[in-house]
Homo-oligomer: A and B are copies of this chain.
Amino acid sequence: MKFTIIGGDAAGMSAASRAKRSRPDLEVVVLEQSLDVSYSACGMPYNIADPNASIEALVVRQAKVFREKQGIDLRTGHRVNAIDTGNKTVSGNRSGGDRFQVDYDHLLIATGASPSIPDLPGFDLPGVMPLKSLAHGRQIKTFIEANGIKRAVIVGMGYIALEMCEALRARGIGVDMVKPRPTFMPGMHPDLAHVVKTELEDHDVALHLGRTLKGIEKSGGALRVITDDGALEGDMVLVAVGVDPNSELAEGAGLELGPSRAIKVDKSLRTSDENIFAAGDCADAFHVVTGERTWIPLALRANRAGWAVADNVTGKAVSLDGVAGTAVFKAFDLQVAKTGLTPKEAEASGFEPVDVMIKSRSRAHAQPDATTIRVHMVGDRRSGRLLGVHMVGKEGVAHRINAPAVGLHQRMTVEAFSQCDLAYAPPFGPTWDPMLTAAVQLLKKM
Contacts and interface: CB of A to CB of B under 8 A. Distances in A.
Interface of A: 10, 40, 42-43, 46-47, 50, 53, 57-58, 60, 288, 298-301, 303-304, 320-330, 335, 337, 339, 364-368, 396, 398-410, 412, 416-417, 419-429, 431-433, 435-436
A397 to B, nearest CB: 8
A365 B40 contact: yes
Given A326-B421, A399-B423, A412-B410, A40 B304 contact: no
Copies in the complex: 2
Given A46-B366, A53-B366, A402-B402, A425 B58 contact: no
Classify the secondary structure of A's interface with B: loop
Contact of A366 (B43, B301, B321, B323): B43
A361 to B, nearest CB: 12
Given A366-B46, A399-B428, A423 B405 contact: yes
Closest 7 CB pairs of A and B: A402-B403, A398-B428, A328-B423, A399-B399, A324-B421, A410-B410, A406-B406
Given A425-B328, A425-B329, A427-B330, A420 B402 contact: yes
A396 B416 CA distance: 25
B409 A419 contact: yes
Given A407-B406, A409-B416, A365 B60 contact: yes
Nearest to A324: B421
Contacts of A57: 366
Contacts of A399: 396, 398-400, 402-403, 423, 428-429
A327 B423 contact: yes
A285 to B, nearest CB: 9
B323 A428 contact: no
B43 A367 contact: yes
Nearest to A60: B365
B330 A431 contact: no
A246 to B, nearest CB: 20
